[in-house]
Chain A
Amino acid sequence: MSRLLAARLGSPLAARLAAIQSARLAAFLAAALLVGACGGAASPSPSPSPMPSASSAPATPRPAPIEGTLTVYSGRSESLVGPLIERFEAATGVDVEVKYGDTAELASTILEEGTASPADVYVAQDAGALGAVASEGRLAMLPSHVLDRVDARFRSPDGEWVGISGRARVAAFDSRAVADPDLPDSILDFTDPSWKGRLGWAPTNGSFQAFVTALRIVEGDDTARAWLEGIKANEPKAYEGNDAIIAALAAGEIEVGFVNHYYALRQAAEQGPRFPVENHFFTGGDPGGLVNVAGAGVLTTSANPTAALALIEFLLSDDAQAYFADETYEYPLVAGVEADDRLEPLDEIESPDIDLSDLADLRGTLDLLSEVGIL
């Protein structure tokens, strides 16, 4: 299997990745067991893929174990991913050094560093940034057993990155002003004049722009333009980001805001159960219900691809996935791990079927936003 994979991908790195699989998997299982022990009640994660036979790695008689150091560039902040990295270190003995930063700024950094980049793994908040780094040939192909952990919608079609957690676009609303059943099923219907002066959005925010890009891909530029113009006619308040929208909802400044789903849940956790902001999900394939991912990839110039791949496998383990569900209120992407019960199940949302990497191509969206006079 490994040899097949290596032959198919044809890159030396992929060959190395494949050749070292068996030893790595053994070590990974040990890691998962250890993590399970750390996590208390959690059960050890099952093997992410069938064990390949040991004889399938003839190129290297003694495959490299998981060890050494690993450099991670993380666009996810330490509060969101730091504890998982610590668990991985404790389980494997790999010394992980993390550079935290803004997702897009780290993408630019990797591109400016070129082949001199010290990074082994790039963890990004959105697929667009992974797509931008991959499009300049900086991400290596991942083996299929890693990619197959998640649904095809949530990974690079070319196999250069894989989603590790999901975030749905929602309409967050002030529950003191409106009730969930009163909100339209489709985001397209918020252009109705009855919503005038009641909406908030964040036109400069990356996740909003990703949604507009998805809208253009799914419904065409004309529909996207009509929607933007329709919302603009309703005089929405513009905010810098999702958090500002949630704060404005809580303050009663607006009634509905277009955001990612987890912001309201995090604020509720910090501010108490009487927090008035709730989520309205767009289901049934509505373009409003775009599910974007935070994901990760291994750099082609990685000095330690074994440990790099092991980290990505770890982030896709059941325990790590449960961490995203319970601690950051995101969607776990691996089948069988339950999301927070306040979330609409991923299957019900039926996120529009598009290549999330395409969300990197924002030029058209930025042009459209400025043509309509929003940016």
Chain B
Amino acid sequence: MTAAAGRLGTGVLRRRRAVARPPLGLVAVGLVIGVLAVTPLAYLVIRALEVEGDALAFVLRPRTVGVVAGTVALGALVAIGTVAVGVPIAWLTTRTDLPGRRLWAMLTIVPLAIPSYVTAFAFVAAFGPRGALHGLLAPFGVERLPDVYGLPGAVLVLSLAAYPYVLLATRAALLRSDPSIEEAARLLGDRRRDVLRRVTIPILLPAIAAGALLAVLYALSDFGAVSLLQFDSLARAVHLQYRASFDRSLAAILALMLVGLSLLVALAEGRIRRRAAAFAAGGRRRPASVIALGRLRWPAVAFCAGVVGLALVVPAATIGWWLVRGVAQGEVVGVVAADVAASFGVGATAAVVAVGLAVPVAVLAARHPSALSRTIARLVDVGYGLPGIVVALAVVFLATRLLPALYQTLALLVAAYAIRFLPLAMGTIRATLVGIGTGLEEAGRTLGDTPTDAFRRVTVPLLRPALLAGGALVFLTVVKELPMALLLGPIGFETLATEIWDAASAGFYARAAAPAAVLLVLSAATVALLLRAEEPAR
């Protein structure tokens, strides 16, 4: 296989060679990050051990088993949904002559910044029984719409909230992959369709899997959407224990079950990644030739428009409606500049720190595969599958005992964000590192560079799109994050997300609308900057 592939083009397939022993410093950094990522688990174990009564009976009772089964179904369907939406859009906006593709790219990524509970609320308002859509269709004799509540609604809303993870990861892979392999396949007589199936998709598979992993973990940890759409996932059950019975032990047991599920998802992703051929791009970033969509142009535009309509326009219109209705009733709406600055500052800092931490973990995982490096990467992933409230309480518990001086400081909040959202940055960076391979760096070293210099001068520039994409993912996720901002932020710390929550939880939707609108604009601007930096010069 290697010999045949080697002839295929400049891309070198799967360099099998002795794995270099990782530098000790890198291992040490990786270990520290792994330990930090696992601290919430330590807290959960401590609390779970305190449970009074029969913990096993609680785990095995039909209701708990049903919740676990529902959560598995949710995860699987969200994986399918996000891939079905994210991959085609990634391909359309990078490889084809889709009209307005840069605009579509931006509009399809922006929904990442909309809190899932806003999307869910908008969906209930728009598509619920007797919602806005029913109002439009009622004159045509539509008596009843399909139920928006339960599993279908949760899958729909969470897929719309999380497909940008798949989209961004796939885009990054498409932009860095060497088109020469696909061109070679064309020269060897494959039709376009076959090239897509036999070459492009296998090349993209690791990135798709990495994106889907993030999407599924997001869905597993989400509370806002599942609660509004009345779907019993494990995350909702965890919240119910905290909120209804103040039972931290049973909550910990449920959260540990969630950790188990996240671990299974992470293991599955690892399998897909290892089985997929790691096609190396030779390091040149020659843009792929643009594929003419022909008659499929307008169906493709309709597809993008449909996704944007559901994921962006429906929630944005809901926010706009709150705003208009409130202003009409004389409500004073506005946004505090300090909240915008706080959201932006914490989001940007956390993004930089997360990317900084993700690089060593990704280098370990991509360049020095071993049981240790895989374990570290998994631990980091698993933490992302935990609901924010669990992570927040774990940090409260540990920080008040071990780091009282840092408790409720911005430094601790940023550190907690960076660790929790590190997988968002790591996935793309790792996939890119595997794609780049080590050949160019080795060439640099034969020319006299030290290993660090070679990495900095050769690999880092090639990593740039991945670093940006990873940082943007962390930023967009942090600016909408709520439980950790509320519990771990310094006293009086307010962000756009806390403002939205504060007003909406008291039923003042007009006052929630202004910060929500600003959050959307801030995110759109970030995505626009990202896209500008991401695309290779033509």
Q: Residues of A at under 8 Å CB distance from B?
A: 71, 77-80, 97-102, 104-109, 111-114, 116-118, 128-129, 132, 204, 206, 209, 237-240, 243-244, 246-248, 251-253, 263, 266-267, 269-272, 360, 362-363, 366, 370, 375
Whole-angstrom distance between the alpha carbons of A314 and B395 in the complex?
33
Q: In the complex, A253→B144 CA distance in Å?
A: 11
The interface-forming segment of B2-10, B17-25, B268-276, B397-405 is B397-405
Q: Once the chains bind, are A118 and B491 in contact (CB under 8 Å)?
A: yes
Q: How far is the CB of A137 from chain B (nearest CB, A)?
A: 14
A77 touches B502 (CB 8 A): yes
A83 to nearest B CB, angstroms? 13
Query: Would A114 and B400 count as touching, CB distance under 8 A?
Result: yes
Report yes or no: A270 in contact with B331, Cβ–Cβ below 8 A: yes
Given contacts A77-B503, A267-B507, contact A239 B244 (CB under 8 A): no
Task: Kindly state the separation between the CA atoms of A106 and B131 in the bound complex, as whole angstroms.
Answer: 34
- Some 22 contacts from A to B, beta carbons below 8 A apart, are A71-B491, A77-B501, A77-B503, A79-B503, A79-B506, A99-B491, A101-B487, A105-B243, A105-B389, A108-B393, A109-B487, A113-B400, A128-B246, A246-B507, A247-B125, A248-B128, A251-B129, A266-B507, A267-B507, A272-B329, A360-B246, A362-B244
A270-B246 in contact (CB<8A): no
Q: Given A132-B246, A251-B131, are A97 and B491 neighbors across the interface (CB < 8 Å)?
A: yes
The CA of A185 and the CA of B243, in the complex, are separated in Å by 31
Most buried by B among A77, A98, A107, A366: A77
Q: In the complex, are the beta carbons of A238 and B230 less than 8 A apart?
A: yes
In the bound complex, CA of A107 to CA of B244 (Å):
11
Contact in complex: A79, B329 (CB < 8 Å): no
Judging by beta carbons under 8 Å apart, are A206 and B244 in contact?
yes
User: How distant is B106 from chain A, measured CB to nearest CB, in Å?
Assistant: 32
Question: Is B247 touching A363 in the complex (CB atoms < 8 A)?
Answer: yes
Name, among B247, B329, B407, B491, the residue most crowded by chain A CB atoms within 10 Å (CB to CB). B491
- When distances are taken between beta carbons in the complex, the residues of chain B under 8 Å from A79 are 502-503, 506, 508, 511
B242 adjacent to chain A (CB < 8 Å): yes
Which B123-157 residues have C-beta < 8 A from chain A?
A: 124-125, 128-131
Interface status of B93 (Cβ within 8 A of chain A) = no
Q: Which residues of B contact A (CB under 8 A)?
A: 63, 124-125, 128-131, 227-228, 230, 236, 240, 242-248, 325-326, 328-329, 331, 389, 392-393, 396-397, 400-401, 404, 407-408, 483, 486-487, 489, 491-492, 498, 501-503, 505-511
CB distance from B228 to the nearest CB of A (A): 5
CB-based contact A100/B404 at 8 Å: no
Give the residues in chain A near B489, CB-CB below 8 Å.
Answer: 99
Closest to B395 in A: A112
* Contact across chains for B227 and A204 when beta carbons are under 8 A apart: yes
Please report the C-alpha to C-alpha distance between residue A267 and residue B325 in the assembled complex, in whole angstroms.
11
Partner pick for B63 among A71, A107, A112, A375, CB 8 A cutoff: A375
Give the interface centre of B248, B397, B505 by most chain A CB atoms within 10 Å. Answer: B505
Known: A109-B487, A244-B124. 5 other contacts (CB 8 A): A79-B502, A116-B404, A238-B230, A240-B227, A370-B63
A204–B228 CA distance with the chains assembled, in angstroms: 11
Closest partner residue, chain A, to B512 (CB atom): A79
Chain B residues lying within 8 Å of A272, measured Cβ to Cβ, are: 328-329
Structural contact, B63 and A271, CB atoms closer than 8 A: no
Contact status B498-A112, CB under 8 Å: no
Which chain A residues border B243 with CB–CB below 8 Å?
102, 104-105, 206
Tell me if A's interface is mostly helix, strand, loop or mixed: helix
A80 to B511, CA, bound (A): 12
Which residues of B sit under 8 angstroms from A362, Cβ to Cβ? 244-246
- Residue of A with least CB distance to B486: A101
A193 to chain B, nearest CB (A): 21
Chain B: minimal CB distance from A307 (Å): 15
Task: Please determine whether A105 and B486 come into contact, CB atoms closer than 8 angstroms.
Answer: yes
Which secondary structure dominates chain B's binding surface?
Answer: helix
Q: Determine if A97 and B228 form an interchain contact, defined as CB atoms under 8 angstroms apart.
A: no
Contacts of A366 in B (CB 8 A): 240, 244-245
CA distance A101 to B246 in the complex (A): 15
In contact, B491 and A112 (Cβ under 8 angstroms)? no
Least Cβ distance of A253 to chain B in Å? Answer: 5
Q: Is the CB of B242 within 8 A of A108?
A: yes
Contacting residues, chain B, for A112 (C-beta < 8 A): 248, 393, 396-397, 400
Rounded to whole angstroms, the CA-CA distance of A111 and B230 in the bound complex is 29
CB-contact partner of A116 in B242, B401, B491, B498, under 8 A: B401
Interface contacts (Cβ under 8 Å), in number, total: 133
| Interchain CA distance A237-B501 in the complex, whole Å | 25
Query: Which partner residue on chain B sits nearest A263 by CB separation?
Result: B507
Given contact pairs A366-B245, A370-B63, A270 touches B329 in the complex (Cβ within 8 A): yes
**Given A108-B248, A116-B400, A204-B244, do A243 and B507 touch, yes or no (CB 8 Å)?**
yes
Q: A113-B396, A269-B329 are in contact. Are A209 and B244 (CB under 8 A)?
A: yes
Q: If the complex has contacts A118-B491, A251-B131, are A270 and B508 also in contact, measured as CB distance less than 8 A?
A: yes
Does the CB pair B506–A266 fall under 8 Å? Answer: yes
Complex-state Cα separation, A253 to B511, whole angstroms = 25
Bound Cα distance A112, B246 (Å): 11
- Distance from B406 Cβ to chain A, minimum over Cβ atoms (Å): 12
With A79-B502, A270-B329, A270-B510 as known contacts, state yes or no: A108 contacts B244, CB within 8 Å.
Answer: no
In whole angstroms, how far apart are the Cα atoms of A363 and B487 in the complex?
25
Task: Using A251-B128, A253-B129 as known contacts, say yes or no to A108 and B246 having CB atoms under 8 A apart.
Answer: yes
Bound-state CA distance A106–B129 (Å) is 34
Q: State the CA gap A306–B195 with chains docked (Å).
A: 76
Contacts of A253 in B (CB 8 A): 128-130
Q: Which residues of B contact A118 (CB under 8 A)?
A: 407-408, 491
Residues of A within 8 A of B130 (CB): 251-253
Q: Contact between B128 and A270 (Cβ–Cβ < 8 Å)? A: no
Contact B509 A270 (CB under 8 A): yes
Q: Is there an interface contact between B393 and A266, defined as CB atoms closer than 8 Å?
A: no
Q: Find chain B residues with CB under 8 A from A77 CB.
A: 501-503, 505-506
Query: Which residues of chain A come closer than 8 Å to B502, judged between CB atoms?
Result: 77-79, 100
Please state if A98 and B407 are interface contacts (CB–CB under 8 Å): no
Contact between chains at B244 and A109 (CB < 8 Å):
no
A209 to B507, CA, bound (A): 20
A246 to chain B minimum Cβ distance, whole angstroms, is: 8
Q: Name which residue of chain A comes closest to B398, CB basis.
A: A112
Residues of the A chain whose Cβ atoms lie less than 8 Å from the Cβ of B131: 251
CB of B247 to closest CB in A, whole Å: 7
User: Are the CB atoms of B329 and A104 closer together than 8 Å?
Assistant: no
Chain B, residue nearest A208 (CB): B244
Least CB separation from A251: chain B residue: B130
User: Which residue from chain B places its CB closest to the CB of A133 in the assembled complex?
Assistant: B246
Given A105-B487, A240-B228, A129 contacting B63 (CB threshold 8 A): no
Closest A residue to B483 by CB, please name it. Answer: A105
A118 to B489, CA, bound (A): 13
Please name the residue on chain A nearest to B53 by beta carbon.
A363
Residue contact A107 to B246, C-beta cutoff 8 Å: yes
B496 nearest CB across to chain A (Å): 14
Q: Which residues of A contact B401 (CB under 8 A)?
A: 114, 116
Q: Given the complex, which residues of A lie within 8 Å of B498, measured CB to CB?
A: 100
With beta carbons under 8 angstroms apart, the residue of B227, B245, B393, B506 that contacts A80 is B506
Distance between Cα atoms of A98 and B397 in the complex (Å): 20
Residues on the A chain within 8 Å of B506, using CB:
77, 79-80, 266
Q: How far is the CA of A107 from the CA of B130 in the complex (A)?
A: 37
C-alpha gap A16/B461 in the complex (Å): 65
Q: How far is the CA of A102 from the CA of B240 in the complex (A)?
A: 13
Cα A266 to Cα B509 in complex, Å, equals: 10
Least CB distance from B115 to A in Å reads 15
